[in-house]
Structure 1
Amino acid sequence: MAWVRRVRTASGATAVQIAESVQGHRRIVAHVGSAHTEAELGLLVEQARGLIDDAAQQALDLGVAPSPRRAELIAPTAAGGATQEGLFGQMPRRAPSTTTRRVGAPQVITTGSRVLFDILAEVYAGLGFAEVADDTFRDLVIARIVEPTSILDTGRVLAGLGVTAASEKTMRRTLLRCTGRSYRDEIARACFTHARGSGDVSLCLYDVTTLYFEAEKEDDLRKVGFSKERRVDPQVVVGLLVDRAGFPLEIGCFEGNKTETATILPIIEAFRARHQLPVEPGGMVVVADAGMLSAANLRDLDEAGLRFIVGSRLTKAPVDLESHFHWHGDAFVDGQIIDTLTPRDRRTGRSENSPKVKAEPVWNPNQHPGSWRAVWAYSTKRAVRDRRTLTLQENRAREVIAGEKPARTPRFVKVTNGSRALDEASLARAYRLVGLKGYVTNIPAGGAAAGEIIGDYHDLWHVEQSFRMSKTDLRARPMFHHQRQSIEAHLTIVFTALAVAREIQNRTGLTIRNVVRQLRPLRSATIAINGTQQTFPPAVPADKQALLDALRQPAAKH
């Protein structure tokens, strides 16, 4: 006859064993495990009962479900020695208990991806965001990282993470607190502290995007403006400033009809004022794409004591490279760089680079007050891509001219007296400039070599990647808020989530979507057994444990 017995171990736990009696002698058949809580004890008892039960043994079906008795942990004896006690009344010399009560069968109460939530909360706190001291705000950020959704559905996401979510009203009040208590200022300060401690903030990357709304009417903030996707929905313009690795530093929201070029200086000034960065020559460098290239923009940045690197438009190449074309023609070699000048304002029609002089001038702000430094580079790979694009555009233009494709007037089609013809001059000029890419800066040659200027500009893909993350992984759009406070709070949550996602990517080398996909299936379980409840963590495979270990290590300095 076999039975389950409990034994007090030297460590203070309660061991569960299976024992049997053979010809009057007791023998330990198996040691099932040791329990430190009554829930663990109940699980071990259930496991031991399953080992004792013989599935092949027949029994009368009386329609009565078995109801196990409550098992309790063994208390130490007064002398500190081991104490033994059996279960189910099967141990000899055991007095019947008058206080025994029956308990229900084991049940899983709930499960949740608590491992994922806890590691995200750990990264969140590690970035200094716990200074906000608002658990509901933290939960909203984590929920947006795991599964971006509406406020109404956020409770379901948090429940799936094993967290008791705040009510919808509390979440909406948190949005108001977010702007009322300036959470974004605290988050931005923490981001700057982290970026400065882990890398270099002397060079920042800037870009803008638009976030549209599922709304019909405009208001003071949400307005119809320029959209690369040709949408006619109300939108806002969002500017994002990041460090050279793509970690977010500042975010700003502007009216939907505001031009992109008018957003960069307010963001930079807010960033510099927030962190009390001095205005000094040779200070902060701002990198932006050609969308920021305007005479007023560059003048304002320079007068604000900022160094800039901005992408140039290909249409400026004939003027900037006039001297080069005159002396060397339009043949280039792969990797060739021309360091020259570009007029600050094309409307003056005045260039300080004379084609009569063969050597390209070295830009100096005192000697060339009407110009900026321009760096042009040629790439064979870019030339191949540009030629392919031009060929497709030329073919389309010819098809439109021939009436084979009804379409709006494409590139390289000119209309004269109602008739279409191929713009041969524009096409020839475009082919002449294939492979070229220009950069405009106010950094003298002694401050940075041309190759360094090009390399810094190419870091812009980091801010573009951050915008893609905010739009796809974090689903910043479309927005369903309509009040400015809620819109600003939404952007603060997205900004914070982007910082956490970026840090996770820097620590692991994996996208946030990949990390969530790997860790979300690790679910803890809360089980009701032996008259009590306890949450048990999941078994973590070796590869997932390695991922968790990487997430707990700060990213290397960049």
Structure 2
Amino acid sequence: MAFIRRVRTASGATAVQIAEYVRGRQRIVEHVGSAHTEAELGMLLQRARELLDNPAQGVLELGIEPTPSVKGLVAPVGDSGLFTVPDAAVSADRDGPGRVVGTDSRILFDALAGVFTALGFDGLDDEVFRDLVIARVVEPTSLLDAGRVLRDLGQSAASYATMKRTLGRAAAGKYRDRIATWCFQHASTSGDISLVLYDVTTLYFEAEKEDELRKVGYSKERCVDPQIVVGLLVDRGGFPLEIGCFEGNKAETATMIPIIKQFQARHQLADMVVVADAGMVSAGNLRELDEANLRFIVGSRMTKAPTDLASHFRWHGDAFTDGQLIDTITPRTGHTKENNPDLRAEPVWDPATNPGSWRAVWAYSRKRAVRDATTLTAQENRAREVIEGQKAARTPRFVKTAGGKRCLDEASLTRARQLAGLKGYVTNIPANVMTATEVIGSYHDLWHVEQSFRMSKTDLRARPMFHRTRDAIEAHLTIVFTALAVSRTIQNRTGLAVANVIKQLRPLRSATIAINGTTQRFAPDISAEQQAILDAIHGPKSHALRK
């Protein structure tokens, strides 16, 4: 009669075998396998039973008809390993075949949680907040649906009521201030905080009425719904440093100074360079930055070019060479005139000798000129179509009204073509401190803050659709701000977009299997590419972790 026996091996594992008695001695018919855990042992025992219970099996060559009443045997503690007297069989009551209890992407969660900790955010000592941040990175959704995302990541999700209380705790506990401090510490040790980049965006609500925060204003997305204005300050690599929320009807130019001053006061900074695009340019902003002893680089509006480049146009016409740089001055206000076009040489800006002007750098690119020319031609054609009645539209560029009739604004079009290919930059940094090339290079880093905004609005879906009160909206932005820091770190470490990282790691499903009254978690098979991503994410440990 065949039976199952378990034997302790020299390595400490338990071997499961099927044996039979032949002339009073045991003969091993089949070695099923060796187990190192209770769950593995249970699975091997189940496999052995299936071999014995299957009348059609031909592996064992027992020459007998197995009976389904074979009983599972359990070796007593301290037994030598032989298990069995054929008639001392165990009870016929045994578990069914092994079953998968559940699967989850806990490997992804653990990787993201490691980044959260490495940035120092675990100092909040708030696991629910951490889970909401990680859920936002993996699959941005509503607070009500966040539990589903967390369960898919192998976490026991808090209740909806607890999550709502966490938002209140984030506002009352000034989580954003603390997170901003940790972000600054991270950036100061791994990045460059001597130069910061600033930009704004708008987030709209599908609401009928305005309130003290959500107001109708200028929208970059051309929406007419109530909105809020969000200002974001990042370091040179796009890592977030400060975020601010303003009323929807607040002018973009009025948001920069409060954010900069808040950042400066929080970290006791006396010297840094602020970079912003032309939309942030206003005489008041530049004056306040200069009075705060902060250096700035901002984009110049094209309307400034004829005045700033008056000397060039007089002496050289509209001829430029590819890559040509013109370092000159630009008036702080329209009433100031310090650039004398009668002088062929461009003036060198000096704060002492040119108190009514800023330094201006203009660059010409042939590639940009071709692009600008194509755009201008399209605008000219559209203007002509509107004038001739071929297309009904609101008055486009280069259309003016004279004598009660629409006509082409030839002068404006000629002037625009003359300026094609030019890009201007305004700064209060002298040429002996920063060259024109460095000014332009620093300004071009602005794409990092634009990329961070794209990440927050697409990958993280920052638009707070389901929040109504100011505290809830502010708490939501704190979660987005934290998630952006985690996402940026992942992107910097892996060189991949965070959406790509999630796409590759989320399918790594750990499985929980129940068999013979025990459960065991089994890790997934990880490819070399996936392992490389995980290794990059875990990256260098933070200083706090090394202690």
Where does 1:497-536 land on structure 2 (aligned, <5 Å)? 497-536=483-522
**What is aligned with 1:62?**
none
Where does 1:29-44 land on structure 2 (aligned, <5 Å)? 29-30=30-31, 32-36=33-37, 38-44=38-44
**What is aligned with 2:81?**
84
**What is aligned with 1:12?**
12
Displacement after TM superposition at 1:3 (Å) = 4.7
**What is aligned with 2:283?**
295
**What is aligned with 2:251?**
259
Where does 1:386-535 land on structure 2 (aligned, <5 Å)? 386-535=372-521
Cα shift readout 1:494-548 (whole Å, capped 9, x = no counterpart): 0000000000000000111101111111111122211122322212122211111
**What is aligned with 1:272?**
264
Looking at structure 1, the residues matched to 11 and 87 of structure 2 have their Cα atoms a distance apart, in angstroms, of 25
Cα shift readout 1:98-155 (whole Å, capped 9, x = no counterpart): 7x85324322222111111111111111111100110000000011111100011111
Looking at structure 2, the residues matched to 50 and 345 of structure 1 have their Cα atoms a distance apart, in angstroms, of 90
Does 1:327 find its partner at 2:315? Answer: yes
Looking at structure 1, the residues matched to 74 and 241 of structure 2 have their Cα atoms a distance apart, in angstroms, of 56
Cα shift readout 1:399-448 (whole Å, capped 9, x = no counterpart): 11111101100000111243110000000000000000000000000110
Cα shift readout 1:350-383 (whole Å, capped 9, x = no counterpart): 3211111111111100010000000000011111
Does 1:308 find its partner at 2:296? Answer: yes
Cα shift readout 1:188-227 (whole Å, capped 9, x = no counterpart): 1111111111021010000000111121111111101100
**What is aligned with 2:27?**
26
Displacement after TM superposition at 1:55 (Å) = 8.2
Distance 1:337 1:15, change over 3 A: same
Read off the aligned partner of 1:263 and give its amino acid letter: T
Q: Is the 8 A contact 2:71 2:90 kept in 1?
A: no
Does 1:169 find its partner at 2:197? Answer: no
**What is aligned with 1:248?**
240
Displacement after TM superposition at 1:39 (Å) = 2.1
Cα shift readout 1:277-316 (whole Å, capped 9, x = no counterpart): 2x3xxx2001000011110110011101110000011111
Distance 1:531 1:323, change over 3 A: same
TM-score calculated relative to the size of structure 1: 0.91
**What is aligned with 2:124?**
132
Distance 1:104 1:54, change over 3 A: closer
Looking at structure 2, the residues matched to 230 and 55 of structure 1 have their Cα atoms a distance apart, in angstroms, of 74
Aligned residues: 533
Displacement after TM superposition at 1:14 (Å) = 2.4
Q: Which runs of 5+ in 2 are unaligned?
A: 59-67, 543-547
Distance 1:273 1:74, change over 3 A: farther
Looking at structure 2, the residues matched to 139 and 70 of structure 1 have their Cα atoms a distance apart, in angstroms, of 43
Read off the aligned partner of 2:95 and give its amino acid letter: V
Cα shift readout 1:157-203 (whole Å, capped 9, x = no counterpart): 11111111000000000000001001111111111111111021010
Displacement after TM superposition at 1:274 (Å) = 1.2
Q: Is the 8 A contact 1:14 1:74 kept in 2?
A: no
Q: Is the 8 A contact 2:325 2:363 kept in 1?
A: yes
Read off the aligned partner of 1:8 and give its amino acid letter: R
Looking at structure 2, the residues matched to 466 and 490 of structure 1 have their Cα atoms a distance apart, in angstroms, of 17
Q: Is the 8 A contact 2:73 2:90 kept in 1?
A: no
SS in 2 for 1:271: helix
Distance 1:445 1:75, change over 3 A: farther
Looking at structure 1, the residues matched to 49 and 378 of structure 2 have their Cα atoms a distance apart, in angstroms, of 75
Looking at structure 2, the residues matched to 449 and 95 of structure 1 have their Cα atoms a distance apart, in angstroms, of 92
Match 1:158 to one of 150, 156, 172: 150
Q: Is the 8 A contact 1:136 1:166 kept in 2?
A: yes
Distance 1:362 1:252, change over 3 A: same
Does 1:343 find its partner at 2:344? Answer: no
Q: Is the 8 A contact 1:35 1:44 kept in 2?
A: no
Where does 1:109-124 land on structure 2 (aligned, <5 Å)? 109-124=101-116
Compute the RMSD of aligned alpha carbons: 2.3
Distance 1:194 1:68, change over 3 A: farther
TM-score calculated relative to the size of structure 2: 0.93
Read off the aligned partner of 2:308 and give its amino acid letter: D
Looking at structure 1, the residues matched to 199 and 50 of structure 2 have their Cα atoms a distance apart, in angstroms, of 63
Q: Is the 8 A contact 2:425 2:440 kept in 1?
A: yes
SS in 2 for 1:151: coil
**What is aligned with 1:80?**
none
SS in 2 for 1:84: coil
Q: Is the 8 A contact 1:71 1:530 kept in 2?
A: no
Looking at structure 2, the residues matched to 246 and 18 of structure 1 have their Cα atoms a distance apart, in angstroms, of 63
Distance 1:545 1:94, change over 3 A: farther
Distance 1:336 1:299, change over 3 A: same
Q: Is the 8 A contact 1:235 1:256 kept in 2?
A: yes
SS in 2 for 1:472: helix
Distance 1:11 1:189, change over 3 A: farther
**What is aligned with 1:539?**
525
Distance 1:105 1:27, change over 3 A: closer
**What is aligned with 1:46?**
46
SS in 2 for 1:480: coil
> Which piece of structure 1 moves more, 165-174 or 536-545?
536-545
Cα shift readout 1:463-508 (whole Å, capped 9, x = no counterpart): 0000000000000115221111100000000000000000000000
Q: Structure 1 vs Structure 2: percent identity of aligned residues?
A: 67
Looking at structure 1, the residues matched to 432 and 18 of structure 2 have their Cα atoms a distance apart, in angstroms, of 82
